[in-house]
Structure 1
Amino acid sequence: MQNYANHTRYYPLHHYVVTPLTLILLSWSFWNLAEVFAAGGDWLRELYLVLVAAILFLLPVISRIYALKNQNRIIRLEMRLRYFQLTGKPFTHQEKKLTMGQIIALRFASGRELIPLMDRAIGEKLSPRQIKKAIQDWQGDTLRV
């Protein structure tokens, strides 16, 4: 069962394999460039390898950022629907007072505690972490990227 303590999600292939390996490759290619440059060798080839390594490092990072931004848009839409279902009013007025991080944190609140917690988050300017810790009836999101 998901809760505040275990809701953070890591993907082993991304976090523990691809990212570290590409970071090692990037570091190694920078080191090689410095070595060849200091020795007066053909540094253009090594610069090319640095650029390739940088691209290989950035590809999974950028794709993850795109996925998270898309997911955040979906969460915003979900919150608009939930707010309307609970209050019969559009979320627009409240949405302008909340950061995206606060909206994401409120997503974990149950229907009965969402509106009071949202009002409290706006009034007390709660951080996403404070919002998550204040949730009593945690609604897990096992599909989060």
Structure 2
Amino acid sequence: MTVQNYASHARYVKGFHFLLASLLVIGTITSIINLYLQVKANDSVIGSILITTLFICGILLFWYTRRFAVTVQDRAIRAEESIRYYILTHKAIDSKLTMGQIVALRFANDDEFLVLADRAVRENLTADEIKKSIKNWKADHHRA
């Protein structure tokens, strides 16, 4: 596994994030142009409407499949980090921590975790600020 840090922690699947996304955008734009040309020429538009609708459905599927996976992953991370916090402190994690803050805290090793969690609440740190504050990065190679 490659070394992970703030600059390299984002994960992209080329076939999904770049190829499929590009094909859906190009196909949608092309189908809309085709629909426009069919309407302008007073031709039958049923086929063009169907193709445009299918591409729009494809974009929605692309968006929601990613959203659902990330939401489930975030809930699992929240549970993991809550247990981690409890093991280290014998207390429940602060309810003022947002989901984004908790997700960012997963990259902190145990030495930094508690200090950063406290700072995140006190200073209302963003997820990005938390990640930038981590000195000893704990890699997460299992992100969906």
TM band (smaller chain): over 0.9
Q: Counterpart of 1:81 in 2: which secondary structure?
A: helix
User: Residue type matched to 2:133 in 1?
Assistant: A
Query: What displacement does 1:61 show?
Result: 2.1
Match of 2:98 in 1: 99
Any unmatched runs of 5+ in structure 2?
none
Of 41-50 and 100-109, the range deviating more from structure 2: 41-50
Identical amino acids, percent of aligned pairs: 38
User: Residue type matched to 1:65 in 2?
Assistant: R
Any unmatched runs of 5+ in structure 1?
none
Q: Distance in 2 between matches of 1:67 and 1:114?
A: 25
User: Residue type matched to 1:57 in 2?
Assistant: I
Runs of 4+ in structure 1 over 4 Å off:
none
1:63-74 map, 5 Å: 63-74=65-76
Is 1:89 aligned to residue 96 of structure 2? no
Q: TM-score, normalised by structure 2?
A: 0.94
Q: Distance in 2 between matches of 1:117 and 1:105?
A: 10
Match of 2:13 in 1: 11
Q: TM-score, normalised by structure 1?
A: 0.94
Q: Distance in 1 between matches of 2:70 and 2:140?
A: 14
Match of 1:110 in 2: 109
The Cα RMSD (Å) is 1.0
Q: Counterpart of 1:104 in 2: which secondary structure?
A: helix
Q: Distance in 2 between matches of 1:26 and 1:4?
A: 34
